[in-house]
Amino acid sequence: MQPAAIEIKDLSKTYKGNTFPAVSHFSLIISQGEILGLLGPNGAGKTTLIHILCGLRSFKEGEVNICGYSLQHQLREIKSLIGVVPQDIALYPALTAYENLKVFGGIMGLKGAELKNRIDELLVFFRLEQSKHRRIEHFSGGMKRRINLIAGLLHRPKILFLDEPTVGVDVQSKTLILENLKEINREGSTLVYTSHYMEEAESLCTQVAFIDEGKLICLGTPEELIKNEAGGACSSLEALYLQLTGKKLRD
Partner 1 sequence: MFVARSALFATDRKKTERLMQRLNFLIYKDFLLLIRDKAGLCMMFLMPMLLVVIMTYLQDSTFNVLHETRIPLLLLNQDEDSLGLAIERQIEASGIFSVTKETAGEAELVRAVSQGKSMIGIVIPENATNQIRKNVKRYVIGAFNGTAIASSGDSVQINIYIDPTAKSSFRNTLMSTLREYAVRIESDFLFKEITAEVDKLSPMPIADIQLSKNQVVFNEQYAMTDKSKTIPNSTQHNVPAWSLFAIFFITISLAGNIIKEREEGSFTRLLTTSCPYYLYLLSKTFVYMAVCLLQFAAIFLMGIYLFPLLGLPSLTVGTQYHLLLLMGICSALSAIGYGIAIGKIATSHQQASIFASISTVIMAAIGGIWIPVFAMPRPMQLLSAASPLNWGLEGFYDLLIRDGGFLDILPECIAAVAFAAACVYIAILYHQKKRVDL
* Contact residues: partner 1, CB under 8 A: 15-16, 54-58, 76, 79-80, 82, 84, 86, 88-95, 99, 102-104, 106-109, 111, 151-152
Whether the Cβ atoms of residue 162 and residue 181 lie closer than 8 Å to each other: yes
Least CB distance to partner 1 at residue 173 (A): 19
CA–CA distance, 137 with 97 (Å, rounded to integer): 10
Least CB distance to partner 1 at residue 111 (A): 6
CB of 73 or CB of 76, closer to partner 1: 76
CB of 21 or CB of 86, closer to partner 1: 86
Least CB distance to partner 1 at residue 36 (A): 18
For 203, the 3-state DSSP assignment is helix
Least CB distance to partner 1 at residue 221 (A): 29
CA–CA distance, 213 with 26 (Å, rounded to integer): 11
Least CB distance to partner 1 at residue 157 (A): 10
CB of 169 or CB of 240, closer to partner 1: 169
Least CB distance to partner 1 at residue 125 (A): 20
For 82, the 3-state DSSP assignment is strand
The DSSP bridge pattern shows strands 82-85 and 159-163 to be parallel
CB of 24 or CB of 100, closer to partner 1: 100
Residue 229 CA neighbour count, 13 Å, CB half: 25
CB of 94 or CB of 124, closer to partner 1: 94
CA–CA distance, 64 with 74 (Å, rounded to integer): 11
Whether the Cβ atoms of residue 228 and residue 220 lie closer than 8 Å to each other: yes
The burial of 110, by beta-carbon neighbours within 10 Å (0-12 exposed, 13-18 middle, 19 or more buried), is given as: buried
Cα-Cα-Cα-Cα torsion 190, 196, 199, 201, nearest 10 degrees, comes to: 10
CB of 16 or CB of 247, closer to partner 1: 16
Between the two ends of the chain, the Cα-to-Cα distance in Å is 39
